[in-house]
Structures are given as C-alpha cells and as structure tokens.
Amino acid sequence: MAKASTLSPSETQRVLVYGPPKSGKTQLVLQLAGHFNIIYIGMEAGHAPVFKLPLAWQERVEIINLPDTRSFPIAAETCLKIVKGGAHSICEAHGKVNCMPCMKVGAPSVRVQLDASLPQDTIVVWDSLTQLTNSFIAHITQAMPDLYKLQTDDWGQLAVLVDLFLSNIQGSKYHNICISHEIEVEMVDGKNRIVPVSGSRNSSRNTAKYFDHVIYCNVSNGKHNFGSGTLYQNGIVTGSRTDVLLESMATPSLLDIMTGKVKTQKGQTPGQVALGSLNALAATLSAKATDVVNNPLNALKAKE
C-alpha cells in the first residue's frame, strides 16, 4: 500500500454532462476546443454546434459520425470496440470498424486509438449515452418486430452492455466526456431524483459512479445554467471530485475540471482558503492585542 501523500492526482478526467434537450450541453463541452484537441464521436446524426466555434477551434475537432438507426445500430458495435483501446479503422460511410466493403474499394476512413497513447491535450467526447442506449436496445432486439417489448433477459443484457462501456470509460487513461439526457427515477431511499440516461432506469440510477464529475445543464429565466456541486439542487444528481462549482462561475467552463484544478465552495483554491483563514486569525489576534493595550481595565474585567 502507498501513503496518500506519496501519490499524485489522476491526470485524466471522466466527465458526464447531462440535461434536457437544447440546454447547452454540447456547446459547453465544445468550448474546450479553445484549449484541447477533441475527438467528437457523434451518434445523433448531427454536429451543428461545432460550426458555432471559431474556425481555429474547429481545426482542433475531429468528427467521427456513427449513422446509428433502429435498423442499423452501428453505435453499439463501434463504441464497444474502440472504447477498449487499440488501433481501429472506422469507415466514414458507415461508421463501422474494419468495414470490409469500404476497405476493398479504398473508401475514406479514420484511424482511432483510444488508450494511454492518446496525448493529454486530447479529449474524447461521446454524444450521446442516450443514443448509445437506444443502439444497445436495437442491437438486442434486432431480430424482433418493431412493437416488441423488452423482456427480463433483454434488460439484463442491456445492463451488461452499459456496464461494459462505462467500466472502460471509468478505467481509461485519457480524458473522456459523455453527454446524455435526463430521466427521473426512484432512488434506493424511495425519493425521486433526476439522473443521466444510461441504459435502463436501474442502470441510470447508478451511472454517476463511473465519473469524476457529473454536471447538470438546464435553461431557466432565458438563461443557460450549469451545476456541478453536490448541493447544486435538491433532487438532481451532480458532483465534482475536485469541488469545481460551475454554478459559482460568471462564465461557466469545464476548463478547471479538465486541468484538474481543485476548487472550494467559494471558487478558491485550497491555498487561497488557508491563506484567508490565517489572515483572518491574524486580524483577530491583532484586534485583541490592541484592545488590551488601549483598554487595560476591560482586559482585567475579562479575566475576572
């Protein structure tokens, strides 16, 4: 075993950003292109938010489109293959790993290797866990009619696939950000809470455990709002292992999270908090000393 004082914090971050549609999730994540290279794995047939970025930032975003549909659940297959690491070739036409028809004609493809060899200035973005869940379900029920309802064994298989993917994210040695939507579920304490969509309701209930940071996005009063603190809002699952609070920022950003900066509830570093405490203590002692010098009678009364 090793002492905590001899260990270093993880250099990579695993982040989950979720919320209702059009709540600014993807835009919040893509703002990181100003500082990081991004491998954007899109499963929802669109990457319009990328084009809102400055042209120089767009150059840092590599897009891998997975044209996932009910009849062609390619996201399930491709994501499970590439998340495990190793070098893979993904065809641009189908989003398939080592697609033989495309390889035969020399069709365009992109090479992906998601493992410790990935530079620390690169973030892999998975958009979204919601669509990946749909792809897993389509994969499980591919031979069934359209109105088929999942049975107990199907839900069990879905849980296995979701855990397989998220366990690889949890153990990854590179930066990961997953985007998802929201669902309300009953927790083990009997209370309803809003959690990120990831598989069944039971799986979604436990999704946060795979990530270092869980961020909720919503729109209220005509403004995009973002929260990452454990106490952000009752009934909504959020949290940050380095205590970064997006809700306290004038301009919310994931930059402090991805660079591993530790924040307190007031948005200060631990060193700043400690210095502030020492200054406050010094001021208190100075005030007491002045009072003793200027008011010796009060000091005597205080002793009595």
Range of the domain at 299: 268-304
- HSE of 98 in the Cβ direction (CA atoms, 13 Å)? 6
Alpha helices in 4-98 (DSSP H): 25-30, 55-58, 74-82
* Helix-strand-coil split of the chain, %, nearest 5: 40, 20, 40
**Strand 109-113 to 87-91 pairing:** antiparallel
Q: Which pLDDT does position 45 carry in this prediction?
A: 75
What DSSP assignment string belongs to 76-93?
HHHHHHHTT-SEEEEETT
* Rounded (5°) CA angle 234-235-236: 95
Domain count, the chain: 2
Task: Report if residue 3 sits inside a domain.
Answer: no
pTM (2 d.p.) = 0.84
d(CA 105, CA 150): 39
Same domain, 200 and 104: yes
Task: Report if residue 5 sits inside a domain.
Answer: no
Task: Report if residue 212 sits inside a domain.
Answer: yes
Task: Report if residue 196 sits inside a domain.
Answer: yes
Same domain, 154 and 217: yes
Residue 101 pairs with which residues in a beta bridge? Answer: none
Same domain, 79 and 173: yes
Instruction: Enumerate residues 6+ apart whose C-beta is below 8 A from 277.
Output: none
Same domain, 33 and 117: yes
Same domain, 286 and 263: no
pLDDT digits (tens, 9 = 90+) for 31-64: 999 999 999 999 987 778 899 999 999 999 999 9
Task: Report if residue 69 sits inside a domain.
Answer: yes
Q: Which residues of the chain have pLDDT under 50?
A: 6-7, 264-282, 284-285, 288-290, 292-293, 296-304
